[in-house]
Copies of this chain bind each other. A is one copy, B any other.
Amino acid sequence: MASNAVMEETLQVLKDHKLRVTPQRHIILAYLVSHHNHPTVETIRDALSKELPNIGASTIYNTLNTFVDHHLVVELQNGDGSTHYDYFGSPHYHAICTNCGRIVDVTYPGFSETEKSLEEKTAEISGYMISGNHMEVYGLCPECQIKLGIKKND
């Protein structure tokens, strides 16, 4: 279960975004804030089965779509057919395993400059009024490298 501090924080986030505070929204957001596992709707439903035993799948979809609209949450695909969700509290991007689908967070000093530069150049060239970006990197996670018997430098 989410800590008291997380519950306070998420309550404030909902209020800041002028979103109606329902138990479902509060609990889902608290779950996302305290878990960086990039869950699917099913994963969330299972994880919250104690706190919200009767929640409908549509409510989870509605809630997550609302969070996405408010840029609280981002959507990710890893090739397994379902959408993964991620609370976007601090800027980062993702490395996605092409073998097992594992998604890990990545950032580095200077990443936000890279981002900003990409957006500025894109605006200049395309004429789009930029509102955001997604960067993803694909490859084999360390575990799959071992599992598949692949040598790094050879």
Contact = CB atoms under 8 A, between A and B. Distances in A.
A23 interface: no
A88 to B, nearest CB: 14
Given A77-B77, A114-B118, A129 B125 contact: no
Contact of A125 (B77, B108, B114): B108
Contact of A136 (B125, B134, B137): B134
A118 to B, nearest CB: 6
Nearest to A148: B129
Interface stretch (A6-14, A35-43, A46-54, A139-147): A139-147
B142 A122 contact: no
B114 A128 contact: no
A128 B95 contact: yes
A133 interface: yes
Nearest to A130: B139
Q: How large is the interface on A (under 10, 10 to 19, 20 to 34, 35 or more residues)?
A: 35 or more
Nearest to A128: B139
A137 B122 contact: yes
Given A134-B134, A134-B135, A150 B129 contact: yes
Interface in A95-154: 95, 97-98, 104, 106-108, 114, 117-119, 121-123, 125-142, 145, 150, 152
Given A106-B122, A121-B108, A138 B127 contact: no
A5 B89 CA distance: 50
5 contacts: A108-B125, A118-B135, A127-B141, A128-B141, A132-B137
